């Protein structure tokens, strides 16, 4: 894998976070969602709490400076949250050195997988009474409620967060599999600069092993091909159940990112 591919994928993730913050700030200004360009990437804040309170893409376009980290830390301290940085192993070495000097500690690993968009998938059969199509906002809300995403784990709430991330933000669309008038599976894709990022894939337990995941994957890859993408990517935590689905659909592990964090004290 070339550094150029790693740079494209890591910066696509940073773009994703920024566009989410932009949409959330427009729709829910009370959450204070905001972003800051820094060291070739972006720091993002989407309210308290939020899984997107992090910086991505740093060091992918050149060295990182102490002034860069000063700006990043001021951004988060001013908003009352801890600092968190996602590090791509292909980032400039200055990023790891400076974060180590400032006392950042390991918080999480994340595997990054990719596959060429044009490579074919196996023709899994699905029940003829299952329909896969793009969801609108109301359908997305119905799905995320049914799939158990409700709660205060994100701002303004878990359902609204997922609808922004998969339907209302730039470049995103959500595909749902319907059976008997109800959504039973879903998966989103967001497209930017030739990269198709696949995310939020889930199938209700009673409908697994029916080919629904493969059908959702084919629909999203077809959309990516129509938009001129050449590479698709997906993320899973090491050992997660979703890792098997990713590997079975032609993705290969490219690298593992590391999240590091530091408190405000």
DSSP per residue over 140-195, as a string?
HHHHHHHTT--SSSSSS-HHHHHHIIIIISTTEEEEEEEETTEEEEEEEEEEETTE
> For the chain (length 265 residues), average pLDDT per consecutive 10?
87 98 98 98 97 98 97 97 97 98 97 92 75 97 98 98 98 96 97 97 94 92 96 94 87 96 86
Measured CA to CA, the distance from residue 196 to residue 171 in angstroms comes to: 9
Domain positions in the chain: 3-111+257-262, 116-253
What pLDDT, on a 0 to 100 scale, did the predictor assign at position 243? Answer: 87
Look up the CATH number of domain 116-253: 3.40.630.30
Tell me 139's DSSP state.
H
Measured CA to CA, the distance from residue 14 to residue 35 in angstroms comes to: 10
What pLDDT, on a 0 to 100 scale, did the predictor assign at position 122? Answer: 67
What pLDDT, on a 0 to 100 scale, did the predictor assign at position 240? Answer: 85
Helix (H/G/I), strand (E/B), else coil: 230: coil
What pLDDT, on a 0 to 100 scale, did the predictor assign at position 123? Answer: 63
């Amino acid at each position: 894998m070339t550094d150029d591919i790693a740079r494209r994928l890591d910066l696509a993730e940073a773009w994703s976070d920024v566009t989410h913050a932009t949409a959330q700030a427009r729709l829910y200004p009370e959450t204070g969602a905001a972003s800051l360009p820094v060291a070739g990437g972006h720091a993002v804040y989407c309210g308290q709490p939020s899984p997107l309170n992090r910086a991505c893409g740093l060091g992918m376009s050149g060295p990182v400076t102490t002034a860069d980290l000063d700006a990043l830390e001021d951004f988060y301290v001013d908003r009352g949250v801890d600092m968190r940085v996602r590090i791509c192993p292909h980032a400039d070495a200055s990023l790891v050195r400076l974060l180590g000097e400032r006392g950042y500690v390991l918080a999480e690993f994340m595997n990054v997988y990719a596959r060429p968009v044009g490579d074919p998938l196996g023709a899994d059969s699905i029940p003829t009474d299952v329909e896969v199509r793009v969801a609108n906002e109301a359908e997305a809300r119905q799905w995320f409620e049914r799939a158990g995403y409700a709660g205060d784990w994100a701002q303004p709430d878990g359902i609204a967060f997922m609808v922004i991330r998969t339907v209302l933000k730039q470049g995103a669309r959500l595909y749902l599999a319907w059976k008997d008038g109800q959504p039973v599976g879903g998966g989103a894709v967001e497209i930017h600069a030739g990269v198709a990022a696949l995310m939020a894939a889930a199938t209700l337990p009673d409908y697994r092993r029916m080919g629904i995941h493969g059908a959702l994957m084919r629909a999203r890859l077809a959309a990516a091909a129509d938009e001129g993408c050449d590479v698709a990517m997906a993320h899973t935590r090491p050992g997660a159940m979703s890792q098997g689905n990713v590997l079975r659909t032609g993705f290969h592990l490219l690298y593992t990112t590391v999240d590091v964090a530091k408190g405000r004290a």
